[in-house]
Amino acid sequence: MNRLSRNHSIRARSGRTGIVVVLVLAIIASVFTRHLALAQRKQNVVLGTSGTSLSSMNSYAIALLLGGLRGPLVMFLWPSSEMQKSERNLEDFDTKIEWIRLLQAEFDSVHIFQIWNKAYNISVQMANIGNKYSTILDALDYAHKVDRERPNNINIIAAIAGIYFDKLGNSQEKDYYKRRIRAESLPHESRQKARQDEAGWRRIELDPILDANGNVLPEYLKPGTVTLTDDERKLTYDGSELQYLKEFEPFPDGLSPFALAYNYYVRSSVLQEVGSQTHSQLSDLVIDSRPALSLKNWVEDELQFGRVNEITAAGKPIPAEREYMEDATIDLTADYSFSDDKLESVRKAIRAYDRAASVAIAADTAYEVHTKRYTTNLLLYREHRESVLAHGSLAAADAEYLRALIEPDAAKKKQMLESAALKYEKALDLQSIVLMRFNLPPDRTDNPDRPEGPPLYPPGTNRENLEQLTRAQRAVIVTNMMRALEAGLYTDTIDDAGVWLRAINRIVPRLRTLGR
């Protein structure tokens, strides 16, 4: 081997030795830095100063990190997540949805779809009703994340309201959801074992919204950066999360989903009317009508909550259907006495009835404002307004009646019973008018196709002059309708008329026991 070849071999061996040394040092350094990073991460988790996943990065940072890969990644994530949904394979579905949220943070339509997707499409895939509820809460979490990033956005706030109104308040499983919302909106010990910033965390319950006195927690009433004033509704929008619940405080028995829906729908309507925002999918008319509709449903929900507690206090089985609850306690006479262990249920019923009566007044006002703005809904919501006031009047009478039954002072009890009688008379008038104006069939003389039956209305009476009739005349019409139904006539109207007939059937025995 000549000298040149030998020198080249020596240099090659020395070069390989250097590379090996560098690799060994790199391995040692990587081990050291790995332990250092793990220790730092552990400290940050303990202090709560850092997230542990890429999802903690904001959408702008994600966009910078990915650069030109952002579009292709989104194009992969969308069909992949939809395929998993159709195959009911939800193993990493939430992760993909979270990435879509971060990558397309500026698109409201994306967020509206994903909130609906989780609350409806994903929740129905859960076999257990508790898991359905958790998935709906997960949809709310998604919405609140977007709301924190982009506050005072009509699309997101209306989506939150829609979950409370449609999914938690009106779905097939609504009774279960309502019980959970009422209980968990109150102070309670958390059943969550992991923290929200830890791996494997999944929401299983609603965070408390109220304090021990039933008032909204201060963190939900912190004003935001936007202030708007709706002069027509006499509302000031301060950007706080739950500002429109404060006027109805306290809530010692928890919140109805419709109360929360009302709050978010009012925020949406103010952002529309005063903030000049437009919902990307819903019309201005729809957004403006939702506060009134939420209040109407809230009244009916409080009535049901009151009925359940009144029936419980009377020691009777609770009917499965809401309409049959009216009949369950019609035998509670003026001298009825509740046992001591049932008094709390009576008080809950009274509070629910009082709430229904006050919310009914607010609902009527909300309908009035809406129909002034959108006169096309004037006739449509006339029935709503009269119905909600009829419900509210009956609730006020029931509250006064129960208060009298548990009043130990004889003189005060007598006054309360007299007050209850007057309120029941008013409720009877309103209930019978709603029944006749909107729920009874027109007289047979105007409808020759109807079967033979007794005339329902006296001569010269029509739906517009019912207030001019005496209570006795209206009672004849109601009695005629009941007899016609018993004879198998007008059965196509029984579903609509039945609600009001049962309410009247509840009032009459109580007026009799009160000497009216």
Number of domains into which the chain is organized: 1
Does residue 165 belong to any structural domain of this protein? no
Confidence of residue 202 (pLDDT cuts 50, 70, 90): confident
DSSP 8-state assignment for residue 254: -
- The closest of 149, 148, 220, 195 to 50, measured between CA atoms, is 195
pLDDT, position 77:
80
Q: What pTM, to 2 d.p., does this model score?
A: 0.83
pLDDT over threshold 90, residue 12 = no
The string of pLDDT tens digits covering residues 133-161 is 999 999 999 999 999 989 999 999 999 99
What residue has token string 């029931």?
398
- pLDDT-derived band at 499 (thresholds 50, 70, 90) equals confident
The answer as to whether 126 is a domain residue is no
User: CA 358, 364, 365, 367: dihedral to nearest 10 degrees?
Assistant: 140
Tell me, yes or no, whether 357 lies in a domain.
yes
| Domain of residue 361, residue span | 291-513
Does residue 125 belong to any structural domain of this protein?
no
Q: Is residue 319 part of a domain?
A: yes
Distance CA 396, CA 422 (A): 11
**By percentage, how much of the chain surpasses pLDDT 70?**
83
Q: What is the C-alpha separation between 142 and 109, in angstroms, rounded?
A: 14
Q: Quick check: is 486 in a domain? A: yes
Whether residue 27 lies inside any domain: the answer is: no
For residue range 271-327, list pLDDT tens digits in order: 999 999 999 999 999 999 999 999 999 999 999 999 999 999 999 999 988 888 999
d(CA 468, CA 391): 21
Per-chain mean pLDDT for the chain = 84
DSSP 180-228: HHHHHHS-------S-TTSTT----SPPP-B-TTSPBPGGGS---S--E
What is the per-residue pLDDT for 230? 80
Task: Assess whether pLDDT exceeds 50 at residue 263.
Answer: yes
Three-class secondary structure of residue 398 per DSSP? helix
At 19-61, the pLDDT tens digits run: 766 666 766 766 566 566 555 544 433 333 333 344 455 554 5
Helix axes 108-116, 93-103, angle to 10 degrees: 160
Residue 452 lies in a domain: yes
pLDDT at 39: 58
